[in-house]
Amino acid sequence: MSWQAYIDNLVASRNVDKAAIYSRAGDSVWAKSAGFDLSTSELSEIRSGFENSAGLQAKGLHAQGIKYFLLRADDRSIYGKKGAEGLVIVRTTQAILLAHYPEGVQPGEATKIVEQLADYLISVGY
């Protein structure tokens, strides 16, 4: 399966409206939804948040120029929320999955599908 197919499947679930897969180092994008672009500084902020969430707690989580309230951050997952929308970000062995869920989607449903994809990627060495 191509990397883009993983993104397309996430979006097809209707629990996510846009997503991207970056290398764990954050130096390349493997696949993404059209128009779902993060700046270098936003990606760096996210990568740092997996190691130490203090910066995200103090300044918030940013994606596409939008500030999200940090709900959770640990060495595997980062969750953010802005109103009824949110972000689910999960780090695997070799990748970082970023997914945005829109208003009307239950956060738990979006989280479940992204975390399941991460589990699968980890199980096959990614």
The answer to whether the beta carbons of residues 23 and 30 sit under 8 Å apart is yes
Angle (CA) 17 24 60, round 5°: 60
Kindly tell me the sign of the dihedral angle through the C-alpha atoms of 33, 104, 88, 6: negative
Q: How far apart are CA 61 and CA 23, in angstroms?
A: 19
For position 1, what pLDDT does the model report?
A: 65
User: Which residue ranges make up each domain of the chain?
Assistant: 3-123
For position 112, what pLDDT does the model report?
A: 97
For position 3, what pLDDT does the model report?
A: 95
Q: How far apart are CA 16 and CA 51, in angstroms?
A: 25
Alpha helices in the chain (DSSP H): 3-12, 40-51, 54-59, 107-123
Q: How far apart are CA 60 and CA 78, in angstroms?
A: 11
**CATH annotation of 3-123:** 3.30.450.30
The tens-digit pLDDT sequence of the chain (126 residues) is 699 999 999 999 999 999 999 999 989 999 999 999 999 999 999 999 999 999 999 999 999 999 999 999 999 999 999 999 999 999 999 999 999 999 999 999 999 999 999 999 999 999
